Structure 1
Amino acid sequence: MTEAPAPGPGRPAGGDQAGPDASPGRGERSAAAPAWLKACLNGSRRPGEHPALPVTPLQLAEAAREARGAGADAVHVHPRDEAGSESLSASHIGAAVRAIRAACPGLPVGVSTGLWMTGGDAGARRAAIRGWEALDASGLPDFASVNLAEPGFADLWKDLRRLGVEVEAGVWTPEGAEALAATGLECARVLVEIIGGQAGTALARAHAVLDRLDGLGVPGPRLLHGEEEPTWILLDEAGQLGLATRIGLEDVLHGPQGDPVDGNTELVRLARARLAVGG
Protein backbone atom coordinates (compact mmCIF):
# COMPACT_ATOMS: atom_id res chain seq x y z
CA MET A 1 0.00 0.00 0.00
CA THR A 2 1.10 3.54 -0.60
CA GLU A 3 1.61 5.98 2.18
CA ALA A 4 -1.23 8.38 2.87
CA PRO A 5 -1.22 11.35 0.49
CA ALA A 6 0.10 14.57 1.90
CA PRO A 7 -1.21 17.40 -0.25
CA GLY A 8 0.10 20.77 0.76
CA PRO A 9 -2.20 23.49 2.00
CA GLY A 10 -3.90 25.46 -0.69
CA ARG A 11 -3.58 22.73 -3.35
CA PRO A 12 -5.48 24.08 -6.36
CA ALA A 13 -9.08 23.03 -6.82
CA GLY A 14 -9.34 20.08 -9.15
CA GLY A 15 -6.32 18.22 -7.77
CA ASP A 16 -8.54 15.57 -6.23
CA GLN A 17 -10.03 14.93 -9.65
CA ALA A 18 -6.91 12.98 -10.50
CA GLY A 19 -7.70 10.36 -7.85
CA PRO A 20 -9.14 6.88 -8.31
CA ASP A 21 -12.73 8.04 -8.79
CA ALA A 22 -11.85 10.42 -11.62
CA SER A 23 -11.66 7.78 -14.36
CA PRO A 24 -13.68 4.57 -14.64
CA GLY A 25 -12.33 1.12 -14.05
CA ARG A 26 -12.71 -1.75 -16.52
CA GLY A 27 -16.34 -2.09 -17.46
CA GLU A 28 -17.52 0.34 -14.77
CA ARG A 29 -18.66 3.17 -17.01
CA SER A 30 -22.37 3.35 -17.74
CA ALA A 31 -23.40 3.71 -21.37
CA ALA A 32 -24.69 7.21 -20.70
CA ALA A 33 -21.48 8.51 -19.12
CA PRO A 34 -18.82 10.11 -21.33
CA ALA A 35 -15.43 8.42 -21.51
CA TRP A 36 -12.68 10.04 -19.42
CA LEU A 37 -10.20 11.49 -21.90
CA LYS A 38 -6.71 12.79 -21.22
CA ALA A 39 -4.86 14.98 -23.73
CA CYS A 40 -1.15 14.10 -24.03
CA LEU A 41 0.10 17.36 -25.48
CA ASN A 42 3.74 16.86 -26.48
CA GLY A 43 5.60 13.83 -25.13
CA SER A 44 9.17 13.34 -26.32
CA ARG A 45 8.58 14.78 -29.78
CA ARG A 46 10.87 17.48 -31.09
CA PRO A 47 9.33 20.74 -32.37
CA GLY A 48 10.13 19.89 -35.98
CA GLU A 49 7.89 16.83 -35.87
CA HIS A 50 4.73 18.95 -35.92
CA PRO A 51 4.29 22.72 -36.37
CA ALA A 52 1.76 22.95 -33.51
CA LEU A 53 3.77 20.96 -30.96
CA PRO A 54 3.68 22.89 -27.64
CA VAL A 55 7.03 23.16 -25.84
CA THR A 56 7.21 26.31 -23.69
CA PRO A 57 5.03 26.82 -20.60
CA LEU A 58 2.88 29.37 -22.44
CA GLN A 59 2.45 27.06 -25.42
CA LEU A 60 1.51 24.19 -23.15
CA ALA A 61 -0.98 26.41 -21.31
CA GLU A 62 -2.66 27.49 -24.55
CA ALA A 63 -2.73 23.91 -25.85
CA ALA A 64 -4.27 22.74 -22.57
CA ARG A 65 -6.92 25.48 -22.71
CA GLU A 66 -7.87 24.51 -26.25
CA ALA A 67 -7.85 20.78 -25.46
CA ARG A 68 -10.13 21.35 -22.51
CA GLY A 69 -12.50 23.29 -24.72
CA ALA A 70 -12.53 20.38 -27.17
CA GLY A 71 -13.46 17.90 -24.44
CA ALA A 72 -10.32 16.81 -22.57
CA ASP A 73 -10.78 15.97 -18.89
CA ALA A 74 -7.07 16.26 -17.99
CA VAL A 75 -3.73 16.90 -19.63
CA HIS A 76 -0.37 15.13 -19.57
CA VAL A 77 2.75 17.08 -20.49
CA HIS A 78 6.53 16.73 -20.76
CA PRO A 79 7.99 20.10 -19.62
CA ARG A 80 11.18 21.26 -21.32
CA ASP A 81 14.29 23.18 -20.35
CA GLU A 82 15.54 26.31 -22.07
CA ALA A 83 17.12 24.23 -24.84
CA GLY A 84 13.88 22.36 -25.52
CA SER A 85 14.93 19.09 -23.88
CA GLU A 86 12.61 17.19 -21.57
CA SER A 87 13.26 18.01 -17.93
CA LEU A 88 12.28 16.77 -14.48
CA SER A 89 13.81 19.73 -12.63
CA ALA A 90 11.55 21.58 -10.21
CA SER A 91 11.98 24.85 -12.06
CA HIS A 92 10.79 23.46 -15.39
CA ILE A 93 8.03 21.28 -13.93
CA GLY A 94 6.75 24.16 -11.81
CA ALA A 95 6.78 26.68 -14.65
CA ALA A 96 4.75 24.42 -16.94
CA VAL A 97 2.23 23.36 -14.28
CA ARG A 98 1.68 26.91 -13.04
CA ALA A 99 1.12 28.19 -16.58
CA ILE A 100 -1.45 25.49 -17.30
CA ARG A 101 -3.26 26.08 -14.02
CA ALA A 102 -3.44 29.81 -14.67
CA ALA A 103 -5.00 29.17 -18.08
CA CYS A 104 -7.19 26.21 -17.01
CA PRO A 105 -8.26 26.46 -13.35
CA GLY A 106 -9.34 23.10 -11.98
CA LEU A 107 -8.01 21.03 -14.88
CA PRO A 108 -5.94 18.08 -13.59
CA VAL A 109 -2.34 18.27 -14.81
CA GLY A 110 0.03 15.31 -15.07
CA VAL A 111 3.65 14.83 -16.09
CA SER A 112 5.94 12.00 -17.12
CA THR A 113 8.83 10.62 -15.06
CA GLY A 114 10.43 8.74 -17.96
CA LEU A 115 13.88 7.46 -17.07
CA TRP A 116 15.28 8.59 -20.40
CA MET A 117 15.04 12.19 -19.16
CA THR A 118 17.99 11.55 -16.85
CA GLY A 119 19.93 9.42 -19.32
CA GLY A 120 18.80 6.17 -17.69
CA ASP A 121 20.11 7.17 -14.25
CA ALA A 122 17.45 6.17 -11.69
CA GLY A 123 19.30 7.92 -8.86
CA ALA A 124 19.40 11.20 -10.76
CA ARG A 125 15.72 10.88 -11.56
CA ARG A 126 14.84 10.29 -7.92
CA ALA A 127 16.93 13.29 -6.88
CA ALA A 128 15.17 15.47 -9.43
CA ILE A 129 11.72 14.43 -8.21
CA ARG A 130 12.71 14.95 -4.59
CA GLY A 131 13.63 18.46 -5.67
CA TRP A 132 9.92 19.06 -6.25
CA GLU A 133 9.68 19.61 -2.49
CA ALA A 134 10.75 23.19 -3.27
CA LEU A 135 7.55 23.74 -5.26
CA ASP A 136 4.50 25.29 -3.69
CA ALA A 137 1.07 23.77 -4.30
CA SER A 138 0.53 25.71 -7.51
CA GLY A 139 3.60 24.16 -9.14
CA LEU A 140 3.14 20.51 -8.18
CA PRO A 141 1.40 18.32 -10.76
CA ASP A 142 -1.73 16.46 -9.73
CA PHE A 143 -0.38 13.16 -11.01
CA ALA A 144 2.72 11.64 -12.59
CA SER A 145 3.19 8.50 -14.66
CA VAL A 146 5.68 5.88 -13.48
CA ASN A 147 6.71 3.13 -15.89
CA LEU A 148 6.85 -0.33 -14.32
CA ALA A 149 9.44 -1.42 -16.88
CA GLU A 150 11.98 1.08 -15.51
CA PRO A 151 14.20 0.41 -12.47
CA GLY A 152 13.52 2.29 -9.27
CA PHE A 153 9.78 2.65 -9.79
CA ALA A 154 8.79 1.63 -6.25
CA ASP A 155 11.00 4.22 -4.56
CA LEU A 156 9.91 6.87 -7.03
CA TRP A 157 6.27 6.01 -6.35
CA LYS A 158 6.73 6.55 -2.62
CA ASP A 159 8.54 9.86 -3.18
CA LEU A 160 5.68 11.13 -5.34
CA ARG A 161 3.05 10.13 -2.80
CA ARG A 162 4.95 11.87 0.00
CA LEU A 163 4.73 15.01 -2.12
CA GLY A 164 0.97 14.53 -2.51
CA VAL A 165 1.28 13.67 -6.21
CA GLU A 166 -0.93 10.83 -7.45
CA VAL A 167 0.69 8.04 -9.46
CA GLU A 168 -0.35 6.55 -12.78
CA ALA A 169 1.26 3.13 -13.26
CA GLY A 170 2.50 2.59 -16.81
CA VAL A 171 2.07 -1.10 -17.65
CA TRP A 172 3.25 -2.22 -21.10
CA THR A 173 3.14 -6.02 -20.84
CA PRO A 174 1.65 -8.85 -18.76
CA GLU A 175 5.00 -8.97 -16.94
CA GLY A 176 4.49 -5.32 -16.01
CA ALA A 177 1.10 -6.25 -14.57
CA GLU A 178 2.81 -8.90 -12.45
CA ALA A 179 5.41 -6.40 -11.26
CA LEU A 180 2.67 -3.99 -10.24
CA ALA A 181 0.75 -6.68 -8.39
CA ALA A 182 3.90 -7.74 -6.53
CA THR A 183 4.42 -4.27 -5.10
CA GLY A 184 1.02 -4.03 -3.40
CA LEU A 185 1.02 -0.34 -4.32
CA GLU A 186 -2.17 1.41 -5.33
CA CYS A 187 -2.46 4.05 -8.00
CA ALA A 188 -4.80 6.65 -9.40
CA ARG A 189 -4.90 4.83 -12.74
CA VAL A 190 -3.28 1.84 -14.39
CA LEU A 191 -2.08 2.94 -17.82
CA VAL A 192 -2.31 0.00 -20.22
CA GLU A 193 0.14 1.32 -22.79
CA ILE A 194 0.65 -0.61 -26.01
CA ILE A 195 4.03 0.72 -27.11
CA GLY A 196 5.26 0.00 -30.62
CA GLY A 197 4.19 -2.91 -32.74
CA GLN A 198 1.68 -3.25 -35.53
CA ALA A 199 -2.00 -2.36 -35.54
CA GLY A 200 -2.92 -5.97 -36.29
CA THR A 201 -1.56 -7.23 -32.96
CA ALA A 202 -2.53 -4.24 -30.79
CA LEU A 203 -5.87 -5.56 -29.55
CA ALA A 204 -4.44 -8.95 -28.59
CA ARG A 205 -1.58 -7.28 -26.73
CA ALA A 206 -3.96 -4.93 -24.93
CA HIS A 207 -6.26 -7.73 -23.80
CA ALA A 208 -3.31 -9.79 -22.61
CA VAL A 209 -2.35 -6.96 -20.25
CA LEU A 210 -5.93 -6.21 -19.18
CA ASP A 211 -6.64 -9.88 -18.52
CA ARG A 212 -3.48 -10.28 -16.46
CA LEU A 213 -4.31 -7.20 -14.37
CA ASP A 214 -7.80 -8.57 -13.72
CA GLY A 215 -6.54 -12.06 -13.01
CA LEU A 216 -4.12 -10.69 -10.41
CA GLY A 217 -6.80 -8.49 -8.85
CA VAL A 218 -4.82 -5.30 -9.38
CA PRO A 219 -6.95 -2.40 -8.11
CA GLY A 220 -7.39 0.93 -9.82
CA PRO A 221 -9.18 2.17 -12.93
CA ARG A 222 -7.64 1.34 -16.31
CA LEU A 223 -6.67 3.75 -19.06
CA LEU A 224 -6.01 2.11 -22.43
CA HIS A 225 -4.04 3.77 -25.22
CA GLY A 226 -1.56 3.16 -28.01
CA GLU A 227 0.95 5.12 -30.03
CA GLU A 228 1.33 5.76 -33.76
CA GLU A 229 -0.40 3.17 -35.97
CA PRO A 230 -2.46 1.39 -33.23
CA THR A 231 -3.62 4.65 -31.58
CA TRP A 232 -7.12 4.88 -33.04
CA ILE A 233 -7.81 1.15 -32.87
CA LEU A 234 -7.07 1.17 -29.15
CA LEU A 235 -9.00 4.38 -28.53
CA ASP A 236 -12.04 2.75 -30.13
CA GLU A 237 -11.49 -0.37 -28.01
CA ALA A 238 -11.31 1.73 -24.86
CA GLY A 239 -14.65 3.27 -25.80
CA GLN A 240 -16.18 -0.16 -26.35
CA LEU A 241 -14.84 -1.47 -23.02
CA GLY A 242 -15.87 1.60 -21.03
CA LEU A 243 -12.28 2.52 -20.17
CA ALA A 244 -10.55 5.86 -19.88
CA THR A 245 -8.20 6.71 -22.74
CA ARG A 246 -5.98 9.47 -24.09
CA ILE A 247 -5.05 11.24 -27.32
CA GLY A 248 -2.64 13.95 -28.40
CA LEU A 249 0.46 14.76 -30.39
CA GLU A 250 2.54 12.64 -28.04
CA ASP A 251 0.81 9.55 -29.42
CA VAL A 252 -0.13 10.32 -33.01
CA LEU A 253 0.14 12.96 -35.73
CA HIS A 254 -2.71 11.76 -37.92
CA GLY A 255 -6.44 11.19 -37.73
CA PRO A 256 -8.31 7.87 -37.96
CA GLN A 257 -8.14 7.93 -41.77
CA GLY A 258 -4.43 8.70 -41.86
CA ASP A 259 -4.81 12.39 -42.65
CA PRO A 260 -2.43 14.87 -40.94
CA VAL A 261 -4.02 16.83 -38.10
CA ASP A 262 -3.70 20.50 -37.19
CA GLY A 263 -2.78 19.73 -33.58
CA ASN A 264 -3.99 18.55 -30.19
CA THR A 265 -7.37 20.28 -30.42
CA GLU A 266 -8.32 18.44 -33.60
CA LEU A 267 -7.17 15.14 -32.10
CA VAL A 268 -9.31 15.65 -28.99
CA ARG A 269 -12.35 16.56 -31.08
CA LEU A 270 -11.89 13.52 -33.28
CA ALA A 271 -11.48 11.31 -30.21
CA ARG A 272 -14.57 12.72 -28.53
CA ALA A 273 -16.63 12.05 -31.64
CA ARG A 274 -15.45 8.46 -31.88
CA LEU A 275 -15.92 7.80 -28.17
CA ALA A 276 -19.47 9.14 -28.35
CA VAL A 277 -20.27 6.60 -31.06
CA GLY A 278 -18.36 3.76 -29.41
CA GLY A 279 -19.79 4.41 -25.97
Structure 2
Amino acid sequence: MVWIKACLNGGQTRAEHPAVPVTPDEVAAAAAASVGAGAVAVHLHQRDAAGRQSLRAVDVGAVVAAVRRACPGLPVGVTTGLWISAGDVGRRLAEVTRWADLPVGERPDFASVNVGEPGFADLVAALRAAGIGVEPGVWSIADALALALALAGAGAGPWVRVLVEVPDGPVGTATADADAILARLDDLAVPGPRLLHGDGARCWPLVAHAGRLGLATRIGLEDVLVGPDGEPVADNADLVRRAVTVWGAARRPV
Protein backbone atom coordinates (compact mmCIF):
# COMPACT_ATOMS: atom_id res chain seq x y z
CA MET A 1 0.00 0.00 0.00
CA VAL A 2 1.33 3.44 -0.90
CA TRP A 3 1.86 5.93 1.96
CA ILE A 4 1.43 9.28 0.28
CA LYS A 5 1.35 12.77 1.68
CA ALA A 6 -0.35 15.57 -0.24
CA CYS A 7 1.75 18.76 -0.31
CA LEU A 8 -1.03 21.16 -1.07
CA ASN A 9 0.35 24.59 -1.87
CA GLY A 10 3.94 25.45 -0.94
CA GLY A 11 4.86 28.89 -2.18
CA GLN A 12 2.90 28.50 -5.41
CA THR A 13 0.35 31.06 -6.53
CA ARG A 14 -2.82 30.85 -8.59
CA ALA A 15 -0.91 32.48 -11.42
CA GLU A 16 1.12 29.27 -11.57
CA HIS A 17 -1.90 26.97 -11.23
CA PRO A 18 -5.52 28.05 -10.65
CA ALA A 19 -6.18 25.24 -8.16
CA VAL A 20 -3.48 26.28 -5.65
CA PRO A 21 -5.33 26.57 -2.30
CA VAL A 22 -4.57 29.69 -0.28
CA THR A 23 -7.22 30.39 2.35
CA PRO A 24 -7.86 27.98 5.25
CA ASP A 25 -11.16 26.85 3.73
CA GLU A 26 -9.53 26.25 0.34
CA VAL A 27 -6.71 24.27 1.93
CA ALA A 28 -9.22 22.22 3.93
CA ALA A 29 -11.22 21.42 0.79
CA ALA A 30 -8.05 20.44 -1.05
CA ALA A 31 -7.04 18.21 1.86
CA ALA A 32 -10.41 16.44 1.88
CA ALA A 33 -10.29 15.86 -1.88
CA SER A 34 -6.71 14.57 -1.64
CA VAL A 35 -7.66 12.12 1.10
CA GLY A 36 -10.45 10.88 -1.14
CA ALA A 37 -7.85 10.32 -3.86
CA GLY A 38 -5.57 8.28 -1.59
CA ALA A 39 -3.49 10.66 0.56
CA VAL A 40 -3.01 9.68 4.20
CA ALA A 41 -1.46 12.94 5.47
CA VAL A 42 -1.04 16.52 4.30
CA HIS A 43 1.73 19.09 4.33
CA LEU A 44 0.86 22.75 3.86
CA HIS A 45 2.34 26.21 3.84
CA GLN A 46 0.24 28.41 6.06
CA ARG A 47 -0.67 31.85 4.70
CA ASP A 48 -1.73 35.16 6.18
CA ALA A 49 -4.82 37.14 5.17
CA ALA A 50 -2.94 38.55 2.16
CA GLY A 51 -2.00 35.07 0.96
CA ARG A 52 1.66 35.33 1.95
CA GLN A 53 3.48 32.45 3.62
CA SER A 54 3.51 32.98 7.37
CA LEU A 55 4.97 31.57 10.57
CA ARG A 56 2.56 33.41 12.87
CA ALA A 57 0.70 31.19 15.31
CA VAL A 58 -2.64 32.73 14.36
CA ASP A 59 -2.16 31.75 10.72
CA VAL A 60 -0.95 28.25 11.58
CA GLY A 61 -3.87 27.71 13.93
CA ALA A 62 -6.48 28.91 11.46
CA VAL A 63 -5.50 26.54 8.65
CA VAL A 64 -4.81 23.53 10.88
CA ALA A 65 -8.21 23.93 12.53
CA ALA A 66 -9.91 24.18 9.13
CA VAL A 67 -8.24 20.99 7.90
CA ARG A 68 -9.13 19.17 11.12
CA ARG A 69 -12.80 20.14 10.74
CA ALA A 70 -12.84 18.85 7.17
CA CYS A 71 -10.70 15.74 7.82
CA PRO A 72 -10.95 14.53 11.43
CA GLY A 73 -7.99 12.41 12.41
CA LEU A 74 -5.87 13.32 9.38
CA PRO A 75 -2.19 13.99 10.25
CA VAL A 76 -1.43 17.62 9.41
CA GLY A 77 2.05 19.02 8.86
CA VAL A 78 3.31 22.55 8.20
CA THR A 79 6.45 24.26 6.99
CA THR A 80 9.09 26.12 9.00
CA GLY A 81 11.01 27.36 5.94
CA LEU A 82 13.58 29.99 6.86
CA TRP A 83 12.75 32.02 3.74
CA ILE A 84 9.41 32.91 5.33
CA SER A 85 11.24 35.01 7.93
CA ALA A 86 13.51 36.44 5.21
CA GLY A 87 16.42 34.40 6.61
CA ASP A 88 16.05 35.78 10.16
CA VAL A 89 16.82 32.75 12.35
CA GLY A 90 15.84 34.45 15.60
CA ARG A 91 12.51 35.69 14.30
CA ARG A 92 11.64 32.26 12.95
CA LEU A 93 12.45 30.65 16.30
CA ALA A 94 10.38 33.22 18.18
CA GLU A 95 7.36 32.70 15.91
CA VAL A 96 7.53 28.90 16.07
CA THR A 97 7.99 28.97 19.85
CA ARG A 98 4.59 30.69 20.09
CA TRP A 99 2.95 27.65 18.46
CA ALA A 100 3.05 26.03 21.92
CA ASP A 101 0.30 28.47 22.97
CA LEU A 102 -2.11 27.21 20.31
CA PRO A 103 -5.04 25.05 21.44
CA VAL A 104 -4.44 21.40 20.71
CA GLY A 105 -6.96 21.44 17.85
CA GLU A 106 -5.01 24.21 16.12
CA ARG A 107 -1.54 22.78 16.64
CA PRO A 108 0.00 20.81 13.77
CA ASP A 109 0.94 17.16 14.28
CA PHE A 110 4.36 17.67 12.73
CA ALA A 111 6.50 20.24 10.98
CA SER A 112 9.24 19.94 8.40
CA VAL A 113 12.63 21.46 9.26
CA ASN A 114 15.37 21.66 6.66
CA VAL A 115 18.59 20.29 8.13
CA GLY A 116 20.72 22.60 6.02
CA GLU A 117 19.11 25.78 7.36
CA PRO A 118 20.78 27.63 10.26
CA GLY A 119 19.12 27.18 13.64
CA PHE A 120 18.06 23.55 13.06
CA ALA A 121 18.73 22.26 16.59
CA ASP A 122 17.00 25.16 18.37
CA LEU A 123 13.98 24.90 16.10
CA VAL A 124 13.68 21.16 16.73
CA ALA A 125 13.78 21.80 20.48
CA ALA A 126 11.05 24.46 20.22
CA LEU A 127 8.79 22.15 18.22
CA ARG A 128 9.28 19.32 20.69
CA ALA A 129 8.47 21.66 23.58
CA ALA A 130 5.21 22.46 21.78
CA GLY A 131 4.39 18.76 21.37
CA ILE A 132 4.88 18.90 17.60
CA GLY A 133 6.71 16.12 15.77
CA VAL A 134 9.62 16.85 13.45
CA GLU A 135 10.29 15.78 9.87
CA PRO A 136 13.91 16.73 9.08
CA GLY A 137 14.46 17.61 5.42
CA VAL A 138 17.65 16.04 4.04
CA TRP A 139 18.72 17.45 0.67
CA SER A 140 22.26 16.09 0.41
CA ILE A 141 24.82 13.66 1.79
CA ALA A 142 26.17 16.53 3.92
CA ASP A 143 22.69 16.98 5.41
CA ALA A 144 22.58 13.26 6.23
CA LEU A 145 25.80 13.62 8.24
CA ALA A 146 24.51 16.77 9.96
CA LEU A 147 21.33 14.95 10.95
CA ALA A 148 23.31 12.06 12.39
CA LEU A 149 25.37 14.51 14.44
CA ALA A 150 22.19 16.22 15.61
CA LEU A 151 21.07 12.97 17.23
CA ALA A 152 23.68 13.61 19.91
CA GLY A 153 22.25 17.06 20.59
CA ALA A 154 19.59 18.04 23.10
CA GLY A 155 16.06 17.61 21.80
CA ALA A 156 17.01 15.76 18.62
CA GLY A 157 15.31 12.54 17.45
CA PRO A 158 13.32 10.41 17.17
CA TRP A 159 11.91 11.72 13.90
CA VAL A 160 8.37 11.35 12.59
CA ARG A 161 9.87 10.76 9.14
CA VAL A 162 13.12 11.67 7.44
CA LEU A 163 12.31 13.61 4.27
CA VAL A 164 14.78 12.72 1.56
CA GLU A 165 14.29 15.67 -0.76
CA VAL A 166 16.13 15.63 -4.09
CA PRO A 167 15.06 18.89 -5.74
CA ASP A 168 18.09 20.01 -7.74
CA GLY A 169 20.01 18.61 -10.67
CA PRO A 170 19.39 16.74 -13.93
CA VAL A 171 16.40 14.43 -14.16
CA GLY A 172 18.67 11.59 -15.26
CA THR A 173 20.60 11.56 -11.97
CA ALA A 174 17.60 11.91 -9.65
CA THR A 175 17.39 8.27 -8.59
CA ALA A 176 21.15 7.91 -8.17
CA ASP A 177 21.25 11.07 -6.04
CA ALA A 178 18.39 9.75 -3.92
CA ASP A 179 20.07 6.36 -3.49
CA ALA A 180 23.29 8.02 -2.35
CA ILE A 181 21.47 10.00 0.35
CA LEU A 182 19.42 6.99 1.47
CA ALA A 183 22.55 4.85 1.69
CA ARG A 184 24.35 7.49 3.76
CA LEU A 185 21.43 7.73 6.17
CA ASP A 186 21.53 3.95 6.57
CA ASP A 187 25.31 3.89 7.00
CA LEU A 188 24.97 6.49 9.75
CA ALA A 189 22.11 4.53 11.36
CA VAL A 190 19.81 7.56 11.32
CA PRO A 191 16.49 6.26 12.72
CA GLY A 192 13.03 6.96 11.36
CA PRO A 193 10.99 6.02 8.29
CA ARG A 194 12.08 7.61 5.01
CA LEU A 195 9.90 9.65 2.67
CA LEU A 196 11.36 10.18 -0.80
CA HIS A 197 10.30 12.98 -3.13
CA GLY A 198 11.54 15.42 -5.72
CA ASP A 199 10.54 18.73 -7.21
CA GLY A 200 9.58 19.84 -10.69
CA ALA A 201 10.94 17.56 -13.40
CA ARG A 202 12.47 15.28 -10.76
CA CYS A 203 9.17 14.74 -9.00
CA TRP A 204 7.63 11.91 -11.03
CA PRO A 205 10.82 9.82 -11.42
CA LEU A 206 11.21 9.88 -7.65
CA VAL A 207 7.57 8.95 -7.01
CA ALA A 208 8.26 5.89 -9.16
CA HIS A 209 11.55 5.22 -7.35
CA ALA A 210 9.81 5.44 -4.00
CA GLY A 211 7.43 2.79 -5.32
CA ARG A 212 10.32 0.53 -6.37
CA LEU A 213 11.84 0.87 -2.90
CA GLY A 214 8.53 0.63 -1.03
CA LEU A 215 9.05 4.06 0.55
CA ALA A 216 6.55 6.75 1.45
CA THR A 217 6.35 9.68 -0.96
CA ARG A 218 4.48 12.92 -1.47
CA ILE A 219 2.84 14.79 -4.32
CA GLY A 220 0.94 18.02 -4.78
CA LEU A 221 0.97 21.44 -6.34
CA GLU A 222 3.88 22.44 -4.11
CA ASP A 223 6.15 20.01 -5.93
CA VAL A 224 4.81 19.75 -9.48
CA LEU A 225 2.14 21.35 -11.67
CA VAL A 226 1.80 18.66 -14.36
CA GLY A 227 1.28 14.91 -14.61
CA PRO A 228 3.97 12.27 -15.23
CA ASP A 229 3.93 12.85 -18.99
CA GLY A 230 3.79 16.63 -18.73
CA GLU A 231 0.01 16.66 -19.12
CA PRO A 232 -2.18 19.27 -17.38
CA VAL A 233 -3.69 18.32 -14.03
CA ALA A 234 -6.85 19.62 -12.40
CA ASP A 235 -5.76 19.93 -8.78
CA ASN A 236 -4.02 18.26 -5.84
CA ALA A 237 -6.42 15.33 -5.80
CA ASP A 238 -5.70 14.67 -9.47
CA LEU A 239 -1.97 14.58 -8.69
CA VAL A 240 -2.54 12.19 -5.79
CA ARG A 241 -4.53 9.80 -7.97
CA ARG A 242 -1.80 9.80 -10.61
CA ALA A 243 0.91 9.31 -7.99
CA VAL A 244 -0.87 6.31 -6.50
CA THR A 245 -0.88 4.76 -9.98
CA VAL A 246 2.78 5.58 -10.69
CA TRP A 247 3.93 4.32 -7.28
CA GLY A 248 1.91 1.12 -7.60
CA ALA A 249 3.11 0.38 -11.14
CA ALA A 250 6.74 0.71 -10.06
CA ARG A 251 6.43 -1.38 -6.89
CA ARG A 252 8.63 -4.44 -6.92
CA PRO A 253 6.95 -7.71 -5.91
CA VAL A 254 7.88 -8.74 -2.38
Q: TM-score range by the shorter chain?
A: over 0.9
- Write the distance in 1 (CA, Å) between the matches of 2:42 and 2:3: 11
Aligned equivalent of 2:244: 272
CA contact 2:141–2:184 (8 Å) conserved in 1: yes
- Write the distance in 1 (CA, Å) between the matches of 2:118 and 2:73: 33
- Write the distance in 2 (CA, Å) between the matches of 1:276 and 1:229: 20
Shift of 1:66: 0.2
Shift of 1:244: 0.5
How do 1:99-178 and structure 2 match up within 5 A? 99-178=66-145
Residue 22 of structure 2 aligns with an amino acid whose one-letter code is V
Q: Does residue 1:41 correspond to 2:13, yes or no?
A: no
Q: Secondary structure at the match of 1:117?
A: helix
Aligned equivalent of 2:221: 249
Aligned equivalent of 1:50: 17
Shift of 1:47: 2.2
CA contact 2:100–2:129 (8 Å) conserved in 1: no
- Write the distance in 2 (CA, Å) between the matches of 1:141 and 1:211: 30
- Output the TM-score relative to the length of structure 2: 0.95
- Write the distance in 2 (CA, Å) between the matches of 1:211 and 1:199: 20
- Cα deviation code 1:147-206 (max 9, x no counterpart): 001000101001101111000010000000000000113211100000122211111111
Shift of 1:278: 2.1
How do 1:190-209 and structure 2 match up within 5 A? 190-209=162-181
- Write the distance in 2 (CA, Å) between the matches of 1:121 and 1:229: 30
Shift of 1:277: 2.0
Aligned equivalent of 1:23: none
How do 1:176-255 and structure 2 match up within 5 A? 176-184=143-151, 185-186=156-157, 187-255=159-227
- Write the distance in 1 (CA, Å) between the matches of 2:248 and 2:188: 31
Residue 99 of structure 1 aligns with an amino acid whose one-letter code is A
Q: Does residue 1:81 correspond to 2:53, yes or no?
A: no
Residue 248 of structure 1 aligns with an amino acid whose one-letter code is G
Aligned equivalent of 2:36: 69
Shift of 1:276: 2.1
Shift of 1:46: 1.8
Greater RCO (CA < 8 Å, at least 6 residues apart): 1
Mark the runs of 5 or more structure 1 residues left unpaired by the alignment: 1-33
- Cα deviation code 1:22-68 (max 9, x no counterpart): xxxxxxxxxxxx12100000001122110000000000000000000
Q: Secondary structure at the match of 1:105?
A: coil
Shift of 1:133: 2.1
Q: Secondary structure at the match of 1:80?
A: coil
Residue 63 of structure 1 aligns with an amino acid whose one-letter code is A
Mark the runs of 5 or more structure 2 residues left unpaired by the alignment: none
CA contact 2:89–2:119 (8 Å) conserved in 1: yes
- Write the distance in 1 (CA, Å) between the matches of 2:52 and 2:243: 28
